[in-house]
Amino acid sequence: MIRKCPRCGTKNRVPAAHLADAGRCGSCQEALPALAEPLEVGANEFREIVSTAKVPVLVDFWAEWCASCRMAASDVAKTAQHMSGRALVLKVNTEEHPELASEFGVRSIPNFAVLKNGAPVARLAGLVDHRQMEAWLQEAG
């Protein structure tokens, strides 16, 4: 995964297993904080991240046309920020990656799944707020 340094803009390669870890920029040595925003992923990135993550992973299955998904986006972003370093938040566009939606039995969106060690530990279709998402992640952690 590529993370941009907030200070110098250098693109740093960060292994998927370390997205929840803080590090340093390879160029200016500025601190690279743990990922604190939802990460839009495709099938390959998804599989790599969930199979190597040392922390629980919240997956938001969504689509651009879905009004409820757009309403949930701010809570998903808050969850990523509040759980930075303790969990990862991924977004999977079901229109672009229907194979992932099918694999997880997604029949309606928004749909959320929490994975720990690559396996689902919680799932819910419909709107939920960031407090509920964070509680799932804390329970899985």
Mean residue pLDDT across the chain: 95
Give the strand order in the sheet containing 119-125. 39-40, 88-93, 57-62, 111-116, 119-125
Q: What are phi and psi of 110, to 5 degrees?
A: -65, 155
pLDDT of 10 higher than 90: yes
Q: Tell me whether residue 69 is one of the annotated catalytic residues.
A: yes
Tell me what pLDDT residue 141 has: 85
Q: pLDDT grade, residue 15 (50/70/90)?
A: very high
3-state helix, strand, coil in the chain (%, to 5): 35, 30, 40
What domains appear along the chain, each with residue ranges and CATH number?
2-32 (no CATH), 39-140 (3.40.30.10)
The number of beta carbons lying within 10 Å of the beta carbon of residue 21 is: 15
Q: Tell me whether residue 8 is one of the annotated catalytic residues.
A: no
Q: Would you state the structure tokens that stand for residue 16, as one six-digit string?
A: 């998927």
Choice among 5, 8, 25, 66 that is catalytic: 66
Tell me what pLDDT residue 104 has: 94
